[in-house]
């Protein structure tokens, strides 16, 4: 008998937000995978965050993680 393990490929989501909506992102338990600093940007790759219901990217009535 052979062992078989299916691994789902990670979906990449690339979103940006503005200062107007930044407070509607919840970083509780967020895992930072990479930080890149350029001349005028700081780019943070995060495994997942909670998008609060009031954020325009969240079509649900509850917080969802992405």
User: Is 1 within the bounds of a domain?
Assistant: no
- pLDDT (0 to 100) of residue 7: 43
Confidence of residue 15 (pLDDT cuts 50, 70, 90): low
User: Is 3 within the bounds of a domain?
Assistant: no
Mean residue pLDDT across the chain: 76
Q: Looking at the 3D structure of the chain, how many domains does it have?
A: 1
User: Is 11 within the bounds of a domain?
Assistant: no
- pLDDT (0 to 100) of residue 37: 94
Pairwise CA distance, residues 61 & 30, whole Å: 21
Confidence of residue 3 (pLDDT cuts 50, 70, 90): very low
β-strands 25-26, 42-46 pairing: unpaired
Show the domain range for 44.
Answer: 22-65
- pLDDT (0 to 100) of residue 17: 66
Beta-carbon count within 10 A of 55 CB? 19
Burial of residue 51 (CB within 10 Å: 0-12, 13-18, 19+) is: buried
Confidence of residue 13 (pLDDT cuts 50, 70, 90): low
């Amino acid at each position: 008998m052979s062992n078989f393990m299916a691994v789902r490929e990670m979906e990449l989501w690339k979103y940006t937000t503005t200062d107007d909506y930044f407070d509607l992102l919840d970083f509780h338990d967020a895992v930072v995978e990479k930080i890149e600093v350029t001349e005028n940007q700081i780019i943070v790759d995060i495994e997942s965050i909670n998008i609060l219901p009031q954020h325009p990217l969240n079509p649900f009535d509850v917080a969802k993680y992405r």
